[in-house]
Every structure is written in structure tokens, then in C-alpha cells.
Structure 1
Amino acid sequence: MGHKLIDAFNREIEYVRLSVTDRCDLRCTYCLPPDHHDFIEPEDWLTFDEIERVIRAFTELGVYRVRLTGGEPLTRHHLPDLAARLSALPHLEDLSLSTNGVQLRKQAGALRKAGVKRINVSLDSLQAARFAAITGGGKLNKVLDGLAAANEAGLHPVKINMVVMNGVNDDEIEDMVRYCIDRDFTLRLIETMPMGDTGRSASSHYLDLEVVRSRLEERFDLVPAVMPGGRSRHPASRDTGTSMYGGGPARYVQVAGTSLRIGFITPISRHFCESCNRVRLSADGALYLCLGQDDKVELRPLLREGISDDGLKEAIRAAIARKPEKHEFREQPQKIVRFMSRTGG
């Protein structure tokens, strides 16, 4: 193929997080307020044809990884059909999905057949009452059943995303480690981020994951680890075809004597902007260049005005040239007013 998307800071953009809806069937306290109804109208969502066209352009420019996100992507009707269309693109090597798992039991098999290889599932508590409180009434048993279905369907690896909140669920981290050991899941611990009013409220429960790592080291034998498979952007692991980051922002360790890898995602305490390799496409076609900045390029008007394929690629190249050097969560925590569900996480 020979094409690469390189931004102004010499970072290769190889990964698109594709939001297919801003709607969700849960109301997690750090993402959406319980009374929020200001969603994008479905007619403003990109159609499957438009999504396929944009992702095709990205892959012809060098992107080879796409993650389906939301809101909750499984609430978008006929999502396996879109997954099948994207997985058929010649240059797309890796199609994955982030989900809350509520509807995973119904769709895991169809998603795997459509070409989704692996999934990340949000799971912040293993206690039913606490899970309901965090998610605005969610049923823990549905998520656990969905995780079992993912295993049955052959989705691998399954990564559990746990947003660690001081005084809310930080007492469950060791329990989550043991849960993932027993089921051969990967665990990723995530710091809260000040995204929108809900995110800023949740930031009052912020906990530095370096503290968590030190705590885990007292109870488990942790050794440096890599996530197997995929291309590596990190010189230390280039020869092995593996990455300590798994192609993303997590820094991994392994619990000795087990297959469990634990990733630490630290956008606040130890940001990873210098190696950022991604952009985010919202459900309504806004291309966000940084999770922690408002820089964006509106692609939907260009698509509906009849832009050519070459013109679309030029618009993407011009957008990547505007990608900022870093976020400013620490410096300007009030800056981002949109909700996480609008951007796709």
C-alpha cells in the first residue's frame, strides 16, 4: 500500500475509533447524566454507506485498525452488517468493538461471523447493587452473561475496562484481578477523565493508577508484559511483533504464574500523547483529532455535498495535519464540554 498518515508531530495515525451512535442503554455516572436526552437525531448519523466510504478512505491512507464504539454500539440496528462490510475492506487488518455487554449475549456470534475479532467490555463492579448505582440501573447478570457468550463465540482477547473511582469501586480491584484470572480475560484499569459535567463530577473520585499499581505489587507478583499480536510502534518490541501497549495507550504487566495481563491507562497521571496513533469519528461524521481537545473536522457535509474520493482523502490529510500535540486535562479540566458518549471514548 505504501501510504502513511503522519501528523505534524511525526506520529503515524493508524487507528480510527468509529462511533456508530451516541445513545446508550446505561447511564454510567462518569459518562451520561441520568436525565440527558439531547442525542443526535438518527437522520444526522452517518449511514452505513457513508461510514464504509470514510473508513475505506482511511484504510487507503494507511489506517489498518478500526474499533466500533458508541455510546453503546450494540444499540445501532444491524451492526453486524456494518461490521461485515468493514471487515471486507482490503487494507483493514483489525476490527474490534467496545461495549457495555448488555446486549452481547444476543449478538456475539453474529459479530464474530462478521469479522469482529476482539472486544473490550466496560465492567466497573462485580457487585450487583453497586453496578446498578454506577450504571443508572444496569443489570450485572446481563453483562456477565454477555461475557460468557463472547467466550463461546471465540472473541479473543476479551478485555475488561474498569474505570477506577476512589471511594466507589477501588476496593474491588483485587476481586476483578481474580475474576479475570479465572476467565482468561485481560484487565485494563482506567483513570477518570474530566469530560463534560459528568466527567468532572466523577473526577472528584480520581485515583492515580500508580498508587493502584503499587498496591497490586504488594499482593501479586507483577512482571513487565506485552500484548501479543499486531504491529508494534515501540522499538523495544519491534522484533517480536508484540507491544507493551497492545497498539493503544495501556502499559501492561502480567501476574506471574498466570496468563493475566493488566493494563494501566493513565491519561492524567502519565499521559501518552507523544505516541497517540488515533482519531475518532463520531456518529454524525465529526472527526475528532484528540479526546481532550475540541479540534474537529465535519465530514458529513462533505459527503452529502458529493465530495470525490480523492477530495475526501485530502480532507482527511488536512485534518490529520491539525491534530494537536497533547490534551490539557490537567491544565484546563473545564475545557471539554461534550460527553464521552458523543466522542466515542
Structure 2
Amino acid sequence: MAEEMTFAPRSEILSLEEIELVAKAFATLGVKKIRLTGGEPLVRHNIMSLVENIGALDNLTELTMTTNGSQLTKYAQQLSDHGVKRINISIDSLQSQRFKTITRTGDLTQVLAGIDAACSAGFQRIKLNAVILKGRNDDEIMDLVNFAISKNIDISFIEEMPLGLIDEHDRALSFCSSDEIRAYISSKHSLTASEITTAGPSQYYTLEGSDTRIGFISPHSHNFCHLCNRVRVTVEGRLLLCLGNEHSVDLRAVLRAHPGEIEPLTQAIIDAMVLKPERHYFDLDNEPQIVRFMNTTGG
């Protein structure tokens, strides 16, 4: 079944105040980096107040965001002013009709204008994220690379994660590995493995004659679980210990049983860490074990 856009009832999602308390609890426990992601975080009402408050947390050294870029003409400068240092923009195609088909409603012109706004806003780094599938957009690999070079920004190619039930393509047949993409780019540009890391799963390469970095995120072909120290809190307050597993803890229940209290929340987070699995296991030939989609995972 193809994915449909649905929205959770307001009562089931965390308020901005609850999200801020969760962020404060993690910062209190020593977390130095927080990323706001989606869905699309910038469509949330009064999102700038949350960004400003999280950006001002003691002990936090980096606040970042992943966005679809549709709201950046409005918010890019405010995000930079409120302490967002790096921003990731998801874009799988530079062809207007294909982009609309992939995103279902996306306006490529609006997103490209948002990328330009981000480039003018003073972020330390801007990175594009692209999921490449054979028969869908694998003919645009070099277009995306050259676009990133023209904007002097980075780009990461991400292997598709088998989350959610779909019928729009066969995951095993459409899968495009990081090795395949890197080999193709290497036939056009000189790539050099980089020791640069951003405390994330990307393996970066530098391009000769350019400041653009090419990243590869490879949950299938090059499992990075042994390096992972990340967790995610969904908009419903579910603490996911791994995107590729269903191990989770209900922080919303803790928040609402102890309104405004940080101690029960920090203890729940500490207790949850023992559930973090050793690794994920993806099999493209079988039905996915995780039925939630990435855009409903959020965090």
C-alpha cells in the first residue's frame, strides 16, 4: 500500500513546552548536539520560539535542523540568528514534475529559493540530502552533485531505509548502494576520502578543486551501528533508541504524569539507554519489520 499523508491529533503530540523540557533533560544529561527534524519542523506553529529556547540551553554546543526547504525563504535568517549552525535540506530531484511526484505536493521552485535563502543566512555548513533509487532519479546523481558544487554546499547520498509498507517500487530492485553512487561520481570527479566527521553516519569525500563535500550514509551496505550514539524523540514523545528497530520508551506518559518536572524525565531517559540495540537488520527481499515511515518518525 502506498503511503498516505495523515496527521496525529493535537492531543497526541508534544507541546512546544514539552519538547523544550525534553531537550533540556538531554542537555542536562550531557548531550551536546540536538537536531530538529520532521516531517517538516518549520510548519509547526510558533516554531521559532522553540528554536530560540533550545538554542539558549546551557551545555548545548550545536543545534541543527533537517528540513524539506519549503519554508526557508521565511525562516532561514531567523534560524541562523537563533543559533542553528548547520542545516540539512532534503532534495531528491532537480526536475520540477519529478520532484512533485516524489514529494506528492512539493514545489521545486520554492525549495530552490529556500536553498538560496539558506546560503545567504550565514550557516556554518549547509548540506543537501538525497535518496537515490534506480529507475526513479539515478539519472540525476551528477546533476545533484554539480548543483551542490555551484552553491558551494555539501551533499549526502542516503541508501533507502526499508520503513513502511509501499507498492510504488520494489525496494530490492530499486536499491542503489553507496558504492555504486560513489563509483559513478568518481568517474566524473576526483574523490578523496576525508577524515572529517560531524558525529553522524556520513562518510565524507572531498572533491578536487571544490569546497563541496560528498557524503554517503549506508545503513545497508556499510553498517555504522557500532559508531552510533544517537536517539530520536518523535513528536508523540516516543523515545526511539534506533531508527531500524522498534525499541522505544513513552516519554509523553512521563511528561504528562509529572508536568514541568525534569527529574522523572531524566531518569526515564537514563533507564531507556539499556534498551538501545547493538545494531539494525535490514532485508530488502522481505516485508519491512518497521511499519512507520521516515516522515512520520520526525524528532
TM-score, normalising length: structure 1: 0.82
User: SS of the counterpart of 1:303?
Assistant: helix
Between the two proteins, what is the percent identity of the paired residues?
Answer: 42
Write the mapping of 1:203-242 to structure 2, written as runs, cut at 5 A: 203=171, 204-227=173-196
Residue 45 of structure 2 corresponds to: 77
Residue 315 of structure 1 corresponds to: 268
Q: 1:293 to 1:200 in 2, by over 3 A?
A: farther
Does 1:285 pair with 2:254? no
> How far is the alpha carbon of 1:344 from its aligned partner?
2.2
Q: Distance in 1 between matches of 2:211 and 2:241?
A: 35
RMSD of aligned alpha carbons = 1.9
Q: Distance in 1 between matches of 2:88 and 2:266?
A: 29
User: SS of the counterpart of 1:187?
Assistant: strand
Residue 252 of structure 1 corresponds to: 204
Query: Of 296, 300, 304, which residue of structure 1 is paired with 2:252?
Result: 300
Q: Distance in 2 between matches of 1:322 and 1:152?
A: 42
Q: Distance in 1 between matches of 2:39 and 2:67?
A: 9
Which one is further off, 199-208 or 157-166?
A: 199-208
Q: Distance in 2 between matches of 1:117 and 1:333?
A: 38
Write the mapping of 1:188-199 to structure 2, written as runs, cut at 5 A: 188-198=156-166
Q: Distance in 2 between matches of 1:343 and 1:217?
A: 33
Query: Of 115, 135, 154, which residue of structure 2 is paired with 1:167?
Result: 135
Q: Distance in 2 between matches of 1:57 and 1:149?
A: 32
Residue 21 of structure 1 corresponds to: none
Residue 75 of structure 2 corresponds to: 107
Does 1:147 pair with 2:115? yes
| Structure 1 unmatched runs, 5+ | 1-28, 228-242
Residue 276 of structure 1 corresponds to: 228
> How far is the alpha carbon of 1:268 from its aligned partner?
0.8
Query: Of 27, 30, 34, which residue of structure 2 is paired with 1:62?
Result: 30
Query: Of 291, 296, 299, which residue of structure 2 is paired with 1:342?
Result: 296
> How far is the alpha carbon of 1:88 from its aligned partner?
0.7
**1:323-345 superposed Cα distances (whole Å, 9 cap, x missing partner):** 01111112865210111122228
Q: Distance in 2 between matches of 1:298 and 1:168?
A: 37
Which one is further off, 111-120 or 284-293?
A: 111-120
Q: 1:333 to 1:93 in 2, by over 3 A?
A: farther
Write the mapping of 1:104-143 to structure 2, written as runs, cut at 5 A: 104-143=72-111
Which one is further off, 149-158 or 198-207?
A: 198-207
Aligned residues: 296
Does 1:89 pair with 2:19? no
Q: Distance in 1 between matches of 2:297 and 2:96?
A: 28
User: SS of the counterpart of 1:54?
Assistant: helix
Bigger RCO (CA 8 Å, 6+ sep): 1
Q: Distance in 1 between matches of 2:231 and 2:117?
A: 30
Does 1:325 pair with 2:282? no
Amino acid across the alignment from 2:163: M
TM-score, normalising length: structure 2: 0.94
| Structure 2 unmatched runs, 5+ | none
Q: Is the 8 A contact 1:268 1:329 kept in 2?
A: yes
